[in-house]
Structure 1
Amino acid sequence: MSVFTKVSHAELREFLRQYPVGELIGFTGIGEGVENTNYFVDTSDGRWVLTLFERLNYEDLPFFLGLMEHLSAHGFPSAMPLRTHSGQNLTMLNGKPAALVRRLNGQSVLFPDLEQCRQVGRALGEMHMIGLSYPGRCVNPRGAAWRAQTGRLLAQNTSDPAIRALIEDELAAQAGLDLASLPQGVIHADLFRDNVLFVEDRLTGVIDFYYACTDALAYDLAVTLNDWCFEPDGTLNPARWQALTAAYRARRELTDAERAAWPLLLRAAALRFWLSRLYDWTFPRSGDVVHVKDPEQYRRILVHHREHAPPAL
């Protein structure tokens, strides 16, 4: 979440008239994340998050908002999009597609304990199962084709031969991974610590579904593990890993094909976020508040997976 598009008090007050939210009290930009413009909004009828979509395809936005509604309808603690007086969950503000969702209670955690990891694993497995009944479909915009294209671009634009060699070697290895042959479904694709909310050890919300897509379910588990179970220095925390994977498998067991592909899945998930962060670092975007994450963390995670076999599932 960053602020690329500024919104004035008068513009927001007029925008909110189309929603059943009461009068505007105040709002503030959110400086975390990297893709969309986001504001916390307080009104006389509640607390909300306003998102202006900066780079996502307009045609894909109903997939994200419909998914959030589908999950909420099945009891999953997803942020729920608010509909306008005329029944729309997608509107326009300052020339950008916009959505208003109710702000969930809770806070993200920087250093999760084992119970929080168990709850995240359980929630991810539950989301995957509920998602099987969601009729929408959206191609992963950060899938294998994007990783190959972005990796080649970054390899050409780096002056560091070690980075170039790592990208090229990993892309060659990833050519042997066929994600389409693995069980498919709706994935969050970005279930990092800052996208899960807790009140103490109780999971109260899963947010930011704007990377959600249709892809290999086990890849989503790999994305989640890479964030929740690794220390800042790139070393694995085995206790967190065990807690999260056991809770996930209690809701959805992995297939033999997923287990066979598991080492490369972990590497693909690490490569995806290393490349996206390295891209933002190499080609920075302008904005009022822009949050650029350090790519080094995911380089270390990728190297760890290349040098160590993962714990047994």
Structure 2
Amino acid sequence: MSAVAQSANHKLEQALAHYDIGELIDFEPAKPEPDNHSYHAHTRQGEREFRVTVTFVEPPALPTGAYVSLLDRCAAAGLPVAPILRTKKGLPYATTSSLPAFVVPRLSGRITYNPTERQIRALGRFAARFHLATASAEYLMPDHPGTVSWLRGQEQSSRGLMPFACADMFVEAARSVRSLLRRHDVNELPSGAIHTRLARANALFNEAGLTGVLNLDQAAQGFLIYDLAAAANDWCNDARGALNPERTLWLLQGYHAIRPLTHQEVWFFSGFALYAALNAWVAQLSQVSTAREPFKNPDELEAAVRHHLGHTFYIDHRLLA
């Protein structure tokens, strides 16, 4: 066993000792990144076996209290989200080496790379149910990091991450999004807890439907329409970065059936598609620059930003019913 694996094994044994789920049998990293803090663990207690996911939370991850409250509320609403397991003392997390460790049941299902109409509509319904279930003042959610000031800073740093022509396009897109976020009517759009990354990589399906949504640790306070725009960019786009009208309508109709979208949200959907694409592009470029393996090719995200910058995606609100 390598030194890294030995360290992970020690941390996991310390954390799992706080739970009534037996001893650690084996484990594997939940993600391939070198700084991974999440593990799939297999434990045994007598004749019973458990398969759980253990996550060690470090800044800038979601604050412990807000994360626990978020998952508890989702579980209470019957959403396909893994609930937080309590320790032997009834606590929502165990502390190991000064880091909180959350343990949740491992969800079944698999990622889909070519989603069907049924799956896209299911994702839309989940987003609506998630927004309704978490609409509570008790959540001290951090603001979405893609603020106006953050975008201004990215304009400066973009020069070192991409070719000159791409950097110019990035600056133009960032300024367009900054202008969007400064509008008074935009700031009056419905807001609350948002997932921020409703991508295919974070949704599990089986033959019966949606079985799990992952990575809520990046949830934040933001505009609800952002979640739909981010999802559409990943679930409904084509090779040119353009949104497929039919697939996008499936997503929005699924959402609208649970939580009706306002006319203003539909009107600004196109602008938020650019906003979400820009954020995703920066995130993937950052992964490439740190030698991580991105889930999506940054060139595809660049194409999405370029397309959204040059085209407005119009949706007739009457088609959502």
Taking a change above 3 Å as real, the CA distance of residues 35 and 213 of structure 1, as seen in their structure-2 partners, is farther
- Aligned equivalents of 2:32 and 2:245: distance in 1? 28
1:309 to 308, 312, 315: 312
- Aligned equivalents of 1:134 and 1:82: distance in 2? 24
Which letter does structure 2 place at the counterpart of 1:217? L
2:89 equivalent to 1:86: yes
- Aligned equivalents of 1:243 and 1:159: distance in 2? 34
Q: Which residue of 2 aligns with 1:111?
A: 114
Taking a change above 3 Å as real, the CA distance of residues 102 and 146 of structure 1, as seen in their structure-2 partners, is farther
Which letter does structure 2 place at the counterpart of 1:308? H
2:186 equivalent to 1:184: no
What is the CA-CA distance between 1:28 and the residue it aligns to? 0.7
Q: Which residue of 1 aligns with 2:229?
A: 222
What is the CA-CA distance between 1:157 and the residue it aligns to? 1.8
2:215 equivalent to 1:212: no
In structure 2, the residue corresponding to 1:175 is in which secondary structure?
Answer: helix
Which letter does structure 2 place at the counterpart of 1:13? E
CA contact (8 A) 1:26 1:42 kept: yes
2:55 equivalent to 1:51: yes
- Aligned equivalents of 2:91 and 2:120: distance in 1? 36
CA contact (8 A) 2:94 2:102 kept: yes
In structure 2, the residue corresponding to 1:97 is in which secondary structure?
Answer: strand
Which letter does structure 1 place at the counterpart of 2:166? I
What is the CA-CA distance between 1:83 and the residue it aligns to? 1.4
Taking a change above 3 Å as real, the CA distance of residues 218 and 251 of structure 1, as seen in their structure-2 partners, is same
Taking a change above 3 Å as real, the CA distance of residues 11 and 38 of structure 1, as seen in their structure-2 partners, is closer
Taking a change above 3 Å as real, the CA distance of residues 235 and 172 of structure 1, as seen in their structure-2 partners, is closer
Q: Which residue of 2 aligns with 1:242?
A: 249
Aligned length: 304
Which whole-Å deviations, capped at 9, do the CAs of 1:36-71 have from their partners, x for residues lacking one?
A: 52111011231111112243257x222122101111
- Aligned equivalents of 1:79 and 1:146: distance in 2? 34
Q: Which residue of 1 aligns with 2:39?
A: 39
Higher relative contact order (CA 8 A, sep 6+): 1
Q: Give TM-score scaled by structure 2 length.
A: 0.86
Aligned-CA RMSD value: 2.4
Q: Which runs of 5+ in 2 are unaligned?
A: none
For residues 138-287 of structure 1, what are the structure 2 equivalents within 5 Å?
Answer: 138-145=141-148, 147-158=150-161, 160-178=163-181, 179-282=186-289, 284=290
What is the CA-CA distance between 1:237 and the residue it aligns to? 3.0
Which whole-Å deviations, capped at 9, do the CAs of 1:106-140 have from their partners, x for residues lacking one?
A: 11111111100111111111111111136203133
- Aligned equivalents of 2:76 and 2:258: distance in 1? 19
In structure 2, the residue corresponding to 1:115 is in which secondary structure?
Answer: helix
Identity %: 28
What is the CA-CA distance between 1:90 and the residue it aligns to? 2.6
Q: Give TM-score scaled by structure 1 length.
A: 0.88
Taking a change above 3 Å as real, the CA distance of residues 71 and 161 of structure 1, as seen in their structure-2 partners, is same
2:75 equivalent to 1:68: no
- Aligned equivalents of 2:293 and 2:170: distance in 1? 24
What is the CA-CA distance between 1:228 and the residue it aligns to? 0.9
CA contact (8 A) 2:148 2:178 kept: no
What is the CA-CA distance between 1:148 and the residue it aligns to? 1.0
In structure 2, the residue corresponding to 1:78 is in which secondary structure?
Answer: coil
In structure 2, the residue corresponding to 1:176 is in which secondary structure?
Answer: helix
Taking a change above 3 Å as real, the CA distance of residues 269 and 11 of structure 1, as seen in their structure-2 partners, is closer
- Aligned equivalents of 1:146 and 1:202: distance in 2? 40
